[in-house]
Amino acid sequence: MTESAINPENDRETAYAGILSFLRFPYSRDLKEVDIAVLGVPYDLGTTNRSGARLGPRAIREQSSLVGEFEWGVWPWEYHLSDHHKVVDYGDVCDFTAYPERLTKELERTANEILSQDTALLSLGGDHFISLSLLRAHVKKHGPLALIHFDAHTDTWVDEDYNHGTMFYHAIKEGLIDVEHSIQIGIRTPNPNSFGLQILDAITIDGMSNEEISTAIRDRVQGKKAYISFDIDFLDPAFAPGTGTPVPGGATVMQGRAILKGLKGLQVVGGDLVEVAPAYDPIGSITALAGATLACDILYLISETLTGH
Ligand SMILES: [Mn+2]
């Protein structure tokens, strides 16, 4: 069980108390024999609308205590992550993140450091701009990656500015994304430039079963190494109001979870869950809870890749 567990009865801390690391995995920067690290990126100066995602990692960690890391694992996954892997919460990128240039450098350096020790990485945003630094680090290790991108927005706006609506334009320009095997799901805002990415927009997926959506993603990615970038605004504002740029007409949490579960077997080498802005969560921290749950599902997909399940 997790090293932070202190309750002698069931070897766990209660959900409403205790240390708030992600899924109660131990906080550690010692990556010796660590298979997967979870990293918080409390940055939101890349937002174009409402800010507040800098508080996302803290809110996600808090809600992750409710996700249900029971001794038999998280439903519908059939095992406890600790049965197969050593997972740690690495904490946050802690250099003062009020300067975009400094954040970019520090995040890339931190991600490189983690990945260079053969530790896989799941990152918690922060606004979506952080994905550019994360992709640079992952591509340095793995080569260009298939991007599986859940979002209301394509984030490929042609603009030399660096913000949370342009980072995938820059990532494509930098050759980080294997466009032929990449796909964007849930899009419901206009953008004339697809850059060759496949787009399953919100109306398209509304007419598909979750299994059909997963299959479409698998057909696109094939056996390529993939990176999952999950913007919480993929979900409808009814399920995720706590985000900077909500767009009505999105998916349910269950759709998101079922689609992710359907990606089991893909070579998911890393991922991020971004844009949770807890100040706009009106009650019950439902956005952060959805974010923690979906981040957990991505963690399991990374786990599946490492064990070759
Ligand atoms: Mn978005």
pLDDT by residue for the chain (309 residues), tens only, comes to: 444 444 444 456 788 888 889 999 999 999 999 999 999 999 999 999 999 999 999 999 999 999 966 778 899 998 999 899 999 999 999 776 678 888 999 999 999 999 999 999 999 999 999 999 999 999 999 999 999 999 999 999 999 999 999 999 999 999 999 999 999 999 999 988 999 999 999 999 999 999 999 999 999 999 999 999 999 999 999 999 999 999 999 999 999 999 999 999 999 999 999 999 999 998 899 999 999 999 999 999 999 999 986
Say what the pLDDT of residue 238 is. 97
How crowded is residue 47: how many other Cβ atoms within 10 Å of its Cβ? Answer: 22
Q: Ligand 1 centroid to 33 CA: how many Å?
A: 35
Q: Ligand 1 centroid to 152 CA: how many Å?
A: 5
Q: Ligand 1 centroid to 150 CA: how many Å?
A: 8
Say what the pLDDT of residue 51 is. 95
pTM over cut 0.85 = yes
CATH 3.40.800.10 fits 22-307, yes or no: yes
Say what the pLDDT of residue 69 is. 61
- In sequence order, which residues have a C-beta less than 8 Å from that of residue 306 and are 6 or more positions away? 35, 36, 84, 85, 120
Q: Ligand 1 centroid to 229 CA: how many Å?
A: 10
